[in-house]
Structure 1
Amino acid sequence: MACQSVSIISMDEQALLGLNPNADACYRQKAMVYFEQLKESQDAWEVCAEALAKGIYRHGCLSAAQQQLIRETLMKWLQCQLMNSQPEKPFIRNKAAQVFALTFVMEFLTHWPKFFYDILSLVGLNPHGVDVYLRTLMAIDAEVVDRDILHSPEEVRRNTLIKDGMREQVIPSLVESWYQILGAYQQSHPEITCQCLEVVGAYVSWIDLNLIANDRYVCLSVCLEVVGAYVSWIDLNLIANDRFVNLLLSQMSVQDLREEACDCLFEIVNKGMDPTDKTKLVESLCQVLQSAGFFNVEEEEDVDFLAKFSRLVNGMGQSLALSWTKLAKGGDVKDATETLRALEAKVPLLLRLLVHEDDDISANVVGFCYDYLHILKQFPLLTDQQKTNVEAIMLAVMKKLTYDEEYNFENEGEDEAMFVEYRKQLKMLLDRLAQVSPELLLEAVRRVFNSTMQTWQTAPFMEVEVAVRLLYMLGEALPASHGAHFSGDTAKTSALQDMMRTLVSSGLSGYQHTSVALEFFETVVRYDKFFLVEPQHIPNVLMAFLDHRGLRHSSPKVRSRVAYLFSRFVKTLHKHMNSFVEDILTRIQDLLELAPPDNGFPALLTSDDQLFMFETAGVLIVHGESPAERKQALMRSLLTPLTDAFRLLLAKLASEGEEERQAALADCLSHAVGFASRTSKAFSNKQTVKQCGCSEVYRDCLQTFLPALSCPVQRGSLRSAVRSFLHRMIICLEEEVLPFVPAASEHMLKDCEAKDLQEFIPLISQITAKFKDQVSPFLQQVFMPLVLAIFEVLCRPAEDNDQAAALEKQMLRRSYFTFIQTIASSGMNEVMANQGVENIERVLFTIIQGAVDFPDPIAQKTCFIILSKLVELWGGKDDAQTVLTLSECALTLKMIHLKRGPEFIQYLQQVYLPSLQVSPEITQELCQVLQQPDVKVLKNYIKAFFQRAKL
């Protein structure tokens, strides 16, 4: 038959025949030409897509002859691989493995039960064939076992049947093949050995481990970590046997294989088993490992291997801990005791790994250590050996908490971040140690702390920092009595008090290293209640905060943190600082200056840090013992520089044409408002402001800040700052703020964006809820302008895929409904009632929309609350507003019935109306009317229904 040209119109059936290994040269040539053209054609994807869509090449659509052809083609291709001097490229072999695996999945249970026998008999120990065989096994694992891949219920059922069939028919042969492969290639082809170990690790979880973990395989099991894929679903006995163990142990000495072996063993050890059997398995593995010298971790220089080995040890330790827990809960005292003995025999190895200089190796056994301590926590008394173990773990944790000399405190990178996370794990251990034996921990920390404090002047920073850090960590590890560590347990109180006294009187606050300085101030604030017991130390610590050791430290990181810690220190101890208030204010005066943009001088503190300083200054002034006149003078002295600078900067902003300069000026203005607002945190309410004589000071600030609302540039940031200040003043000045609100509102409603309105509504809601009738005239005036501004923003067009804009509108809609709810709940009927029928209809329509049309449960709930409240407010008189509201209620009920049907009727009948004590007769009557098509009938009935309800 003559070969013909190829047309790329549809999938060429004759060309496909050329894929048959037995096809003649003409067909093979035709197939080659066809697929080359297919690769070059621009519309080739359409051809392939059409074939896929029609499903004509899916396995289930093929005839028996075609399916047989596939099997023969695969085996012929595999046979070719055995004869090739060079293997195919890896991606070709991976694709082939996928095809083999997919064919296996479709045919193993039906047409090809001898799939593995056929492949194994063909490949033997040919390295090219073994490579494809192992890749196929991993591909089968991905298709049948891998839990990370989602499967349909039908696929799950099919996969279960496949695994059952494999266990019954082929797993022993597979395990035998692995053994042969591992033995044959461990020296000559380490890459194949690693592949095989990976396969074993994958299958171990679901096969009989005894096939591997027997006497011959025990040593092999030592290497089975890499074999992890199949371990999860084959019988463990197939692997955990003598033969495998001896083979794997020999591979543990092969440099290229031992890491994979550890991974494989980890999978075996983690497999769910009977607790007694698990203990025996772990013990047998440990004996082999120990006799082979793997427990001598100090002699091992390969940290990568030790990282894998420590993970394995952690798995063995946690498995034993879990076995002990199960046995103890089951009342099996004998086996539980044996398991605990086995676990505690591993503690020396655990400690050697825990103190290893490589933090990754140490971190890998934290879980084992934590679980062991959890067991000890359950014992009322510890044996001498257990106490020794606890003390050894404490010392290990204390040692590993220590910084390396290379740690970069000023520019922390990835290594530093990893150590911080590692320290968190160690802290977890320290907390658990405190639960096991608080006395031992307290004594151990005290011993380390006191020893270091005797030589802190000459000790390396790492030792000094960790000594203070341990004192700090005690505060969280040991329970505090009534929130304080200096009452209750006398021994603990005495020890902590002694260490704190040493800390603050030793001069250590002058240690120059950043880490020590930070730890000193952190600890002082952590134990600020100490100074209530011994207030004589406050002056010295205050000076440390205020001078070069703290707020004026050479490190910006220290200065920033100390600004926050100083505010906490003052809040707790301000009653003991009355005689120092004005001295402190004088010393921090330069730290309270508003730094204008581009002034050329680097500020000691950032604007965020300054917020804490202004709050601290406010607390010192307000809670000091000075008379009101002096407090007023101090507060005015604190805030006047801000208001003076604000006026000058606002004038500059109005005339500034450069956008970058405008933004810098607006930031500075916002900081000024924020600083003034932060000082008011010292006041709890209007009464405290009046008592301090500060009302006028804050009114002057308001007068200064409000003009910023009408600034034509940088409107967003300025409005946000002034709004926040108004929120604070509503609390501090109460009704004295009201004269400023109308003008402020007028400015804030001009040229609004969604975010502006969303921030403005809470301010109006706060005023409404707080002042109620006092602000009714203002609310009546501002109500519709605010509502119309909201409507205008919500109606603005936006791109369909603009998720940010959609979210802004959703949040604004919620804020709008919350505002209406606030007015309705505040009992100010007249605010809405006096807006005119047309406006009220419009507002009520939006509430109905919110209750029914928008898929936003939060908004819907608010809308129904509003409707219920309006019925309550207007239901007493048969006026126009009442009729209107009841009409909207009827429409709402009708819409819910249209949307939810029988579900809604059932809810009314069985849940909602009975909860209101509505009689069954009236309930039935309402539900019948609700189901009638004419809504007018429902409207009339609802009116009568509520009239009866009020009688």
Structure 2
Amino acid sequence: MDEQALLGLNPNANADFRERALAYFEQLKVSRDAWQVCAEAISQRIYSDDHVKFFCFQVLEHQIKFKYSELTTLQHQLIRETLITWLQSQMLNAQPEKTFIRNKAAQVFALVFVTEYLTTWHKFFFDVLSVVGLNPRGVDLYLRILMAIDAEVVDRDIIHTPEEARRNTLLKDSMREQCVPNLVESWYQILQTYQHSNSEITCQCLEVIGAFVSWIDLTLIANDRFINMLLGHMSVEVLREEACDCLYEIVNKGMDPVDKTKLVESLCQVLQSAGFFRIDQEEDVDFLARFSKLVNGMGQSLIISWTKLVKSGDLKNAQDTLQSIESKVPLMLRLLVHEDDDISSNIIGFCYEYLHILKQVGKRMLYLSSATELAIMLAVMKKLTYDDEYNFENEGEDEAMFVEYRKQLKLLLDRLAQVSPELLLASVRRIFNSTLQNWQSTQFMEVEVAIRLLYMLGEAIPTSHGAHFCGDFAKASVLQDMMRTLVTSGVSSYNHTSVTLEYFETVVRYEKFFAVEPIHIPDVLMAFLDHRGLRHPSPKVRSRTAYLFSRFVKSLHKQMNAFVEDILNRIQDLLELSPPENGFQTLLSSDDQLFIYETAGVLIVNSEYSADRKSILMRNLLTPLMQKFKILLEKLMMEQDEERQTVLADCLNHAVGFASRTSKAFSNKQTVKQCGCSGVYLDCLRTFLPALNCLVQKETLRGGVRTFLHRMIICLEEEVLPFIPTASEHMLKDCEAKDLQEFIPLINQITAKFKTQVSPFLQQVFMPLLHAIFEILVRPAEENDQSAALDKQMLRRSYFAFLQTVTGSGMNEVIANQDAENVERVLFTVIQGAVEYPDPIAQKTCFIILSKLVELWGGKDGLVGFADFVYKHIVPACFLAPLKPTFDLADAQTVLALSECAVTIKTIYLKRGPECIQYLQLEYLPSLQVAPEIIQEFCQALQQPDAKVFKNYLKVRRLQGLERRGESVAGEGVP
């Protein structure tokens, strides 16, 4: 072996050595016989360096994974002998191999097993066991090999191909027949030998049993000698967690429901007798988390058994199982309410399913039902509570886990609401009222949970149970009473972010309450606007409040008329546009300000003011933006510092975004005119468009202005048209692929909306736009530059989408009025797009364009020379595209492309009639050496009145019989 290259395997080696080692590894991988050097190094123990040993196993692993079928029978035998020899050597080593080497060796053993067990190495396990015996190092390796085999053959978390799945089924079937009883016996001997002397091996063995029990005969494990041993392990501190997991896997094993009930009951009785149900006396929370998972498994298994028994009509055994389930409920509740969230979380599945049973069977059949519902409810309410250590300002992994745990508890609450909505409402109301009466002297977590419970009722309680709001005070629901208490209690002033946020979230969730009791709106608005909301010390609260305030105003805009100008005055300072200078930070981020601008727009547009007044208010809102924009644009054009340029460009972009966001309040042009706001938005356009002349940070500025134009096309309609030519001219200068991709949708929007109105403009911009596209597509790029290739692919799609919009909007004269040379070039690009590029989305678009052009120009009085083009190029394209090896009908987009291809051929036939059939029968199809009977069949299908007949024919046959693949289409087009 290359000793110099091996030096690079050391983690401390320099970059050159590491690179040489990597190259050596690649060299050994592709070599036919070099792996044998590594096999010899493994069996002869030539190297003592751990990294070299690992390297040798890696080379062997690659050979078995990817090249095993290429090896001879003797070479297969060499690999088997290498592994067994290495295994034998481990019994003699003074020191055991490092864990990472043992794990890699186990993987290699497993790969050989799945490759050879069914054909050559039937005695795999017997050969391994005969070597390792009960030697502790050998047993360790044997157990690692079994876990590696589980990963290859059984593990459901690993995705297998259908072929691998079939192989794995055969492997398990063969193992059941040939060796599983022997494996089980070896596990028993290992446990018996090492349970008191080697906890690591014992735990490994328990893990193996847990992994294999899902698919072997359960009676081999679920018997007195194994279960008694496992229960004994439950009392040994270093073994009990793994024993717990092993019992969990046994309990989860699919089996007859009556037998499952007996198994679970016997386990429970022994565990209870041994004192494991005394949860309060157990201090080891890690063990209790495993034990909770076991109890959850037992409970859910019993529920599955009960469901099967009920379905089969075995009501006697079903009743016995139901009693068994109910006997576990007290234990379930103690685990649910445990202060450790992992322990509680692990039992939620059982709780959830038990509540489902309560809903199904009714409370009369279950002795503990009402008490259990109440206990679960109280447990959920208690466990929803934050603890003192929760970090609200800097949430990390622990906080994220608690948020997920809360989601689980919410599911329990929702299920409780289905079982007993009245009880849930009464319980929440009691806790809520008692907490809010004394909120000033109550800990934040209790106040937050009280409001949180009110919030959660919105989804949990159906409206048929009174969870709604009505104008009749005497009929006011429990929810309405609680909302009134929330907004009048003063709890919005509680000095903790969690309470503040929960208050605003709940106010917005129940915005319908304010429609029936609008008297409370002023107090809530003030909470939003002052230090409790938008001016709260916490950026997190300010940010969330900005969004919630926007939702609140949008929902209740009809009730806001009396407060419009007051709100606008109070938020004025929050609307300020200024780049961060001298470390000064605005209260709200630019993203938050977007919501405030939108809110301001909603207030103005939906107010009951006159159009003149609305116009003044909107101008007051947007004029400061325009003024600041002009100043900042001048600064940007003079600025030399790149970092400062970026800051200024971002600020300018925000200004455009804010103005655009205010227009969200308008549904269409009519509302803009009715509000008298057209003028101010036209002024905005005049203010923002000069930014397109700025060569500094042009990508950022163009993006912002382009987005604003999209909005103005909707709001101002034809009033925006005079601005489009100049804007387009600037946006086509010095542009990249991405710029064009984003510019084309703007042109498409204008074309589709205004059609013939913009025909002169389109004719003018058409070829400059196409030249810009072609220029970018012909630029050379690095062969492996996937990003550049993707940009080009997306630009081609955008180009074809543009042509589709032009032709689909009845604007074919835009193309027809170009120079003949340019028209021809455009047509050839579409032909190329349909045939040459393996992009089914672009192909589909190209066939849509072609069929439309045939429809417009393909008749007797169509475009001069187009009929000739149809037969020379469009017809061949319809046959050549599906013949491409890349035309994969397993892909849904390709199927759509084929469908549009069929439409194109059908359209040619409809426009040209018998002439088309004659051309296909006598000229084109014979030139492809298609059999006469298939030509006849094809033409008959084409002439069927129902277009679907031909589409289906083309899809089913995919032009079978047209075996000679055509030459690529010639012509100048999209590169």
Q: TM-score, length-normalised on structure 2?
A: 0.83
Are 2:165 and 1:181 aligned? no
Are 2:575 and 1:562 aligned? no
**Deviation readout 1:112-170 (Å, 9 max, x if unpaired):** 76665676677654434444444454455456545566778887667656544544454
Q: 1:886 — aligned with what? A: 870
| SS, match of residue 838 in structure 2 | coil
Shift of 1:678: 1.1
Q: 1:870 — aligned with what? A: 853
Match of 1:192 among 187, 201, 205: 201
Q: 2:962 — aligned with what? A: none
Asked whether the 8 Å contact 1:481–1:488 carries over to 2, the reply is no
| SS, match of residue 294 in structure 1 | coil
Match of 1:60 among 47, 52, 73: 73
Asked whether the 8 Å contact 2:508–2:551 carries over to 1, the reply is yes
Please list, as runs of the form range in 1=range in 2, the aligned pairs for 1:65-214 lying within 5 A after superposition.
87=96, 90=99, 125-142=134-151, 145-146=154-155, 163-199=172-208, 201=209
**Deviation readout 1:389-444 (Å, 9 max, x if unpaired):** 22211111111111111111111111111111111111122222222222222222
- Matches of 2:437 and 2:56, distance apart in 1: 83
| SS, match of residue 276 in structure 1 | helix
Match of 2:244 among 262, 268, 280: 262
Asked whether the 8 Å contact 2:466–2:478 carries over to 1, the reply is no
After TM superposition, the structure 1 stretch with the greater mean CA deviation from structure 2, 125-134 or 351-360, is 125-134
Shift of 1:755: 1.5
Shift of 1:455: 0.9
- Matches of 1:909 and 1:602, distance apart in 2: 55
- Matches of 1:159 and 1:617, distance apart in 2: 64
**Deviation readout 1:841-891 (Å, 9 max, x if unpaired):** 111111122222222222222221111111222234143164266344223
- Matches of 1:102 and 1:48, distance apart in 2: 8
- Matches of 1:891 and 1:286, distance apart in 2: 76
Please list, as runs of the form range in 1=range in 2, the aligned pairs for 1:437-836 lying within 5 A after superposition.
437-480=420-463, 485-486=468-469, 494-598=477-581, 600-836=583-819
Are 2:308 and 1:308 aligned? no
Q: 1:229 — aligned with what? A: 211
Shift of 1:329: 2.5
After TM superposition, the structure 1 stretch with the greater mean CA deviation from structure 2, 926-935 or 780-789, is 926-935
> For residue 717 of structure 1, what is the amino acid of its counterpart?
T
> For residue 239 of structure 1, what is the amino acid of its counterpart?
I
Identity %: 69
- Matches of 1:793 and 1:57, distance apart in 2: 47
Question: In angstroms, what is the RMSD of aligned CA positions?
Answer: 4.3
Asked whether the 8 Å contact 2:38–2:57 carries over to 1, the reply is no
- Matches of 2:806 and 2:467, distance apart in 1: 45
- Matches of 2:472 and 2:915, distance apart in 1: 67
- Matches of 1:648 and 1:33, distance apart in 2: 76
Shift of 1:74: 7.5
Asked whether the 8 Å contact 2:421–2:465 carries over to 1, the reply is no
Residues 677 and 361 from structure 1, CA distance in 2 versus in 1: closer, same or farther, beyond 3 angstroms?
same
Unaligned runs of 5+ in 1: 1-7, 22-30, 202-227
Residues 880 and 482 from structure 1, CA distance in 2 versus in 1: closer, same or farther, beyond 3 angstroms?
farther
Residues 110 and 770 from structure 1, CA distance in 2 versus in 1: closer, same or farther, beyond 3 angstroms?
closer
Q: 1:856 — aligned with what? A: 839
Q: TM-score, length-normalised on structure 1?
A: 0.85
| SS, match of residue 441 in structure 2 | coil
Q: 1:26 — aligned with what? A: none
- Matches of 2:603 and 2:127, distance apart in 1: 88
Q: 1:423 — aligned with what? A: 406
**Deviation readout 1:295-324 (Å, 9 max, x if unpaired):** 112211111111111111222222222222
Are 2:254 and 1:272 aligned? yes
- Matches of 1:703 and 1:473, distance apart in 2: 49
Residues 804 and 62 from structure 1, CA distance in 2 versus in 1: closer, same or farther, beyond 3 angstroms?
closer
After TM superposition, the structure 1 stretch with the greater mean CA deviation from structure 2, 779-788 or 921-930, is 921-930
> For residue 931 of structure 1, what is the amino acid of its counterpart?
L
| SS, match of residue 216 in structure 2 | strand
- Matches of 2:334 and 2:162, distance apart in 1: 48
| SS, match of residue 796 in structure 1 | coil
**Deviation readout 1:643-702 (Å, 9 max, x if unpaired):** 111111111111111111111111111111111111111111122111221111111111
Shift of 1:479: 3.0
| SS, match of residue 408 in structure 1 | coil
Please list, as runs of the form range in 1=range in 2, the aligned pairs for 1:9-88 lying within 5 A after superposition.
60-61=73-74, 87=96
Asked whether the 8 Å contact 2:554–2:599 carries over to 1, the reply is yes
Asked whether the 8 Å contact 1:313–1:365 carries over to 2, the reply is yes
> For residue 446 of structure 2, what is the amino acid of its counterpart?
E
- Matches of 1:668 and 1:192, distance apart in 2: 64
Asked whether the 8 Å contact 2:847–2:900 carries over to 1, the reply is no
> For residue 177 of structure 1, what is the amino acid of its counterpart?
S
Match of 1:286 among 268, 277, 281: 268
Are 2:927 and 1:933 aligned? yes
**Deviation readout 1:708-731 (Å, 9 max, x if unpaired):** 111111111111111111111111
Asked whether the 8 Å contact 2:598–2:663 carries over to 1, the reply is yes
Are 2:354 and 1:372 aligned? yes
Q: How many residues align?
A: 893
Are 2:881 and 1:896 aligned? yes
- Matches of 1:16 and 1:606, distance apart in 2: 60
Asked whether the 8 Å contact 2:90–2:138 carries over to 1, the reply is yes
Shift of 1:765: 1.2
After TM superposition, the structure 1 stretch with the greater mean CA deviation from structure 2, 188-197 or 370-379, is 370-379
> For residue 364 of structure 1, what is the amino acid of its counterpart?
N
| SS, match of residue 232 in structure 1 | coil
Residues 714 and 928 from structure 1, CA distance in 2 versus in 1: closer, same or farther, beyond 3 angstroms?
same
> For residue 342 of structure 2, what is the amino acid of its counterpart?
D
Asked whether the 8 Å contact 1:913–1:923 carries over to 2, the reply is no
Q: 1:350 — aligned with what? A: 332
Q: 1:205 — aligned with what? A: none
Unaligned runs of 5+ in 2: 1-27, 890-894, 946-975
Residues 885 and 185 from structure 1, CA distance in 2 versus in 1: closer, same or farther, beyond 3 angstroms?
same
- Matches of 1:116 and 1:50, distance apart in 2: 22
- Matches of 1:343 and 1:678, distance apart in 2: 57
**Deviation readout 1:776-798 (Å, 9 max, x if unpaired):** 11111111111211121222222
Shift of 1:614: 0.9
Residues 780 and 362 from structure 1, CA distance in 2 versus in 1: closer, same or farther, beyond 3 angstroms?
same
Residues 77 and 313 from structure 1, CA distance in 2 versus in 1: closer, same or farther, beyond 3 angstroms?
same
Match of 2:345 among 343, 359, 363: 363
Shift of 1:577: 1.8
Are 2:277 and 1:295 aligned? yes
> For residue 313 of structure 2, what is the amino acid of its counterpart?
G
> For residue 353 of structure 1, what is the amino acid of its counterpart?
L
- Matches of 1:11 and 1:911, distance apart in 2: 53
| SS, match of residue 673 in structure 1 | helix
Residues 881 and 507 from structure 1, CA distance in 2 versus in 1: closer, same or farther, beyond 3 angstroms?
farther
